Structure 1
Amino acid sequence: MMHPEYILTLSCPDQRGIVHNVSGFLAGHGCNIIDSAQFGDAQSALFFMRVHFALEDAAISDAVLRADFASMGESMQMDWQLHDARHKPRMVLMVSKIGHCLNDLLFRFKSGLLPVEIKAIISNHTDFYQLAASYNIPFHHLPLAVGASAEAKRVQEQKVLDIIESNQVELVVLARYMQILSPEMCTALTGRAINIHHSFLPSFKGAKPYYQAHERGVKLIGATAHFVTGDLDEGPIIEQDVERVDHAMGPETLTAIGRDVECVVLARAVKCFVEHRILLNAHKTVVFK
């Protein structure tokens, strides 16, 4: 018999007895813990926890489990969520004209390495409509002209939000979507939008950052995946990585290496989100491995 599995994530003021109370609650409700991780942050005085467990007592319903935990959670001032561990989150991918991250995520999805439902691909260009069709994923071309007015941008972003809401999307991934989202759009997607960028920001802003890096003779290149906020490229960081480079490598080689790193970093961040391993800690994140 396959028992229902859940992932519990929580944060609360650090205090004695949190792990004892949570594990005792689960044991008392016929649950078996599969794995667990916790972290106490001395700076914020908050405690973070992620527990993957199976509900083995058929007499305990989902509603009872949630209602009873809510009572305990309130007594300990917990901010908590209880997820169905077998649910595949609904995701939308947004892209412009550079497709390496899009292609990588689609391959991982098709290979079963990324347990999600990709409901749509949204782009301000038409470059990847055939790629979307090859995966049988709806493609939405929502153009935005260079220098478009604020009103035109609002109209375009509302169309994006309509697609997101109509598909009950849980995660939006900016897979090299080269448009700055409005503050209103960022607010609407708080906690459910992930972006990828090269780690040269803010040192190498603007066009061709890898060419700028080559001119400066950098020895490390990398990428950063983070949550989207109204502060451009300054949202809570989820995942990062770097790769060593040297003087013999031209800007094209640096670009190729950088794009490989971007793919890996973004895929890791998305997988962490899907597996409910990311908890927000003010402007930072706790990411349980």
Structure 2
Amino acid sequence: MGQAIRKFGWKRNDLVIATKIYWDSAFGDNKVNNVGLSRKHIIEGMEGSLERLQLSYVDVVFAHRPDRQTPMEETVRAFNHLINTGKALYWGTSEWSPDEIERAWRYADKLGLIGPLAEQSRYNMLERSKIENDFFHLYREHGLGLTSFSPLRQGILTGKYKNGIPEDSRFAQTKVEFVAGYWKRTGKEQWEAQIQAVVKLEPIAERLGIKQSVLALAWVLANPNVSSAITGASSPAQVFENIETIAAYKELTPEILTEIDEILNNKPAVIIERC
């Protein structure tokens, strides 16, 4: 990323750059100090990230998983140290529970510090309860914004699996365990139910004149609590396809969103107000 910024001459203030800290990084052999959210690892991890990026600061630094072996106060203070020393502008969390985010805010309020302002969580048409239900009070009380990942549910929502599994697709491989293990966790019945839901969504995408992948991404962005969605691409064409979402999500009227809800039949008990 740092090399790309310099090569293309992008202005730093035009970019919002995030990094994340938790797992062991590329430097150091001490697996005790080089993992988690201790003050030592947070500060050293941030310095390592900035060195690799060749930047003086990032806009957001994420606590990439909760560390239940480190006191919450220590973690909150350490991230605020990064903010106070100009190495990060904000901090957020990734895959934290609502209770853990709320506890971080309690310490931040008590100490007059900045709490986590963003959460990175899985969110898509097929997985929505945590985001739309469990986090509901955090948007209202703390202004929490979401950086969602897996908006296409590992490619399922693109529609490419409706006629089987293509040889060049993610689910055709068996080497990456968390992908190969998806079959064991999902089961045939649930897999078929997901595929049927995707097939039923196809006419909506056709009516709007967009691909199903764009519809799925647009649905995520239509949630007013989503600040950004993490996308992946294996070709320039897919990058441009993803960008179409910026215009497409504005076409999702309340009537279309209701139609999608009726097809999916997985609307949570507590419903956020959609724009």
Q: Structure 2 length as normaliser, TM-score? A: 0.31
Q: Which has the higher strand share?
A: 1
Q: Which has the higher helix share?
A: 2
User: Which structure has the greater CA radius of gyration?
Assistant: 1
